[in-house]
Amino acid sequence: MAEMDTSSKGGGHKKGPGVKKGKKLSTRVDLTPMVDLGFLLITFFIFTTTMSQPTAMRLFLPKDTDKPEEQNKVKASGALTIMLGKSNGVYYYEGELAPDGSNFKSSNFKDIRQEIISKKKNTNPDDFVVVIKPGPEATYKNTVDILDEMTINEVKRYAMVDIFDVELQLMKRTEESAGIK
């Protein structure tokens, strides 16, 4: 394949004592390095190719309304309030926040899923609602993660609400006692 026919069979050259024989050089080239190079480049291009296209996550916002009749009333017993704090901290309470903050619990992004699942199981689907309250120290990633958690666990009703001062204070105190900076 990788050689050329250099022999001159059937050519016009005569063989004989008077004809000088040219030295036949092989044109066979060793292709191994070329193959090596080829595969090296292939691997490079395979690795640099971006296969994964970015995806879009849709978010629908509720309309801010002052009219009480237009507001969705949340049945307190069916609500799960999740707050996002510093350093990926997650805090939550079920129902209404007790005045002494006794039902305020801390969690993390791994364990919150179990909490959502069990709350979903134990609540009437019509009453179940998750209230998400990202604090000022929460990151965008935390927010997207918790919204994603809603999709993962198929929570149909959830809302993103501003955090209340009481909750913020409580969260700060919990963070301080846990030594989160």
Partner 1 sequence: MPKVKVPRKSTNVDMTAMCDVAFLLLSFFILTTKFKPTEALQVTTPKSVSTKAVDAKNVVLVTLDKEGKVYFSVSDENKGEKEQVIDLVDQLKSLGLSAQEKAAFAKVGTYIGVPFSQLKSYLQLNPEQMKAFKAPGIPVTDTLNNEMQIWIRAAATAFQGKKMNLLVKGDNDAKYPSFKGVIDALKKNEIFKFSMITDPEGVPPGTDLYKKNQASGGRATDE
Nearer to partner 1, 78 or 134 (CB): 134
Closest by Cα among 82, 130, 137, 73 to 109:
82
Decide if residue 151 touches partner 1 (CB under 8 A): yes
Nearer to partner 1, 162 or 176 (CB): 162
Nearer to partner 1, 78 or 135 (CB): 135
Distance of CA 132 to the CA centre of its chain: 20
Q: How far apart are CA 166 and CA 93, in angstroms?
A: 13
Interface pattern 85-114 for partner 1 (x via CB under 8 A): ----------------------------x-
Nearer to partner 1, 5 or 100 (CB): 5
Decide if residue 48 touches partner 1 (CB under 8 A): yes
Question: Coil, strand or helix: which one is 143?
Answer: helix
Amino acid at 65: T
CB of 156 closer than 8 Å to CB of 130: no
Structure tokens at 140: 């965008």
Q: Which residues neighbour 151 within 8 Å (Cβ) at sequence distance 6 or greater?
A: 57
In angstroms, what is the C-alpha Rg of the chain?
36
Partners of 117 in the beta sheet?
none
Decide if residue 154 touches partner 1 (CB under 8 A): yes
Shortest separation between residue 168's beta carbon and partner 1, angstroms: 12
Among 9, 21, 63, 67, binds partner 1 (CB under 8 A): 63
Stretch near partner 1 under the rule CB under 8 A, chosen from 16-24, 90-98, 123-131, 144-152: 144-152
Stretch near partner 1 under the rule CB under 8 A, chosen from 73-81, 90-98, 137-145, 170-178: 137-145
